[in-house]
Amino acid sequence: MPAERADRTFTEYNRAHRLAAMTQEDDSPAFDMPEVGARYPSSSLPALEAAAWVREAHPERFWTFDLAVFEAFFGRTEDISHPQVLARIAASAGLDPSALDQALATGRFRPIVLREHAEATSQGFHNIPTILIPGHGPVVGAVPYADLRRAVLRALEREPG
């Protein structure tokens, strides 16, 4: 969860992370590459609050919503810190956008997200994403899809059948 930034622009730092994750493989997710200085979300906190609401209220829709937020942010560089963007994403995932608006307006999920963030950092996790893969160790940051896929496939090969 990045700290709030007043400038809200796409920086060289952001560009480097997107470049690290981009691959040319057909099955890899698409990444948009905005121009440095373009408008950029200042925080992932609203999207994380929305995800916490979905996880609680509609757990069967969580992964659909999660993927839709990922595609909106990385694939189209949409401002996932804006409630209207999150409401549209919720609708695309089969959720009621007005219910999401209401959940965000109450602030009920912010303490949950902040608590989970504090718990993760206390356990040594400081980067988003950090993916724990059994037998592999954590995969940290934006990595090429092919690398992540290989790590997951190796872990699955080791799983008892």
> Residues of CATH 1.10.472.60 domain(s) within the chain?
12-125
| Integer Cα distance of 77 and 127 in angstroms | 19
Judge residue 64's burial from the number of C-beta atoms within 10 Å of its C-beta, 0-12 exposed, 13-18 middle, 19 or more buried. Answer: middle
Return the pLDDT at 138.
85
| Integer Cα distance of 38 and 117 in angstroms | 28
Helix (H) or strand (E) holding 57, with range, is: helix 45-57
Return the pLDDT at 155.
87
Query: Could you tell me the mean pLDDT of each successive run of 10 residues in the chain, 161 residues long?
Result: 55 67 58 67 88 97 93 85 95 97 96 94 85 83 78 81 53
- Tell me the CA distances in angstroms from 90 to 7, 22, 35, 70, 109, one per residue in order: 27, 26, 27, 12, 16
| Integer Cα distance of 133 and 29 in angstroms | 20
Fold of 12-125: Cyclin A; domain 1 (1.10.472)
Inter-helix orientation angle 83-92/62-70, to 10°? 130
Torsion of Cα atoms, 7 then 12 then 18 then 22, to 10°:
150
Return the pLDDT at 4.
52
Return the pLDDT at 135.
80
Return the pLDDT at 29.
58
